[in-house]
Amino acid sequence: MIKKSPNPLLSCCLFVILLTGCAQNQPVATKATDDKNSEIEVDVKPLVNRVLTQAEQNALTPDQVLTLLKEGNQRFVAGTLTARDHSKLVREAALGQYPKAVVLSCLDSRVPVEDVFDRGIGDIFVARVAGNFENTDILGSMEYACKVAGSKLVFVLGHERCGAVNAAIDGVELGNITAMLANIKPAVDHFKDYKGEKTSTNREFVKMVTAQNVLGTIDRIRINSPILKEMEQKGEIKIVGGIYNMQTGEISMLEE
């Protein structure tokens, strides 16, 4: 009896189905051959192709969300960002959004917030303003994110070498920038008894003011938003902060 050769079209279809199934689930190791026909293992990354559902959002705790963001930052630093089907995510997200967290970040273009936490479409709300400070509009946006849309975490993200912080330290005055910097001045004034040089050339002082600006923002969020303060007291959300390292991409959490 003569055995028929496998149908090449059928084999191709089966191969595509196999890869698709792997991509939509967990990472697996598959086998391939090198130039010497020796078997080697090849990692297949998972492909995220759907947005978070409301049920999944409801099941998350603030601590779990914080852990997810920390783990995402570790992947960002390691250069192993999650593969995502952005076209499919765009279509799915059009039907609704259930983000895990809201991040208040600086305007700085060198801090790509979603990438920094390895998050995709529909994962997090992001508010951005030079110097990552709060104001009425941002507080209202945060209240919407948490009270209405169900986010479990408020993350204030500062970063090293922040131009707004440096300008506030040096007392820069220029158009509307002057009024904007007034929101950062409390962090500078916090160190009125500091004995060192209070200029942007003093890296130690800049580092201190940068961290205090994040902590002060967190304090004012609680003071000026009774809604968020009550949610935090009930354990429904957490309000935290961290500093982004411009050289490594790593985020260091700030202890209050």
- Distance CA(122)–CA(168), nearest Å, equals 34
Domain boundary assignment for the chain: 8-44, 50-253
Q: By C-alpha distance, which of 5, 6, 32 is closest to 18?
A: 32
pTM check: above 0.85 = no
pLDDT in tens, 57-76: 999 999 999 999 999 999 99
Helix (H, G, I), strand (E, B) or coil at 251: strand
Model pLDDT, residue 93: 72
pLDDT in tens, 86-123: 777 777 677 778 999 999 999 999 999 999 999 998 89
For tokens 């001045």, the residue is: 185
- Distance CA(22)–CA(44), nearest Å, equals 7
19 neighbors 83 (Cβ within 8 angstroms): no
Please state which of the ranges 28-42, 75-89, 129-143 shows the lowest mean pLDDT. 28-42
pLDDT in tens, 191-245: 999 999 999 999 999 999 999 999 999 999 999 999 999 999 999 999 999 999 9
Burial class (CB in 10 A: 0-12, 13-18, 19+), 215: middle
Say what angle helices 163-170 and 203-224 make with each other, to 10 degrees: 100
Model pLDDT, residue 133: 98
Model pLDDT, residue 45: 52
Say what angle helices 136-143 and 203-224 make with each other, to 10 degrees: 60
- Distance CA(36)–CA(131), nearest Å, equals 56
- Distance CA(106)–CA(211), nearest Å, equals 13
- Paired tokens of 3: 């055995």
CATH of domain 50-253: 3.40.1050.10
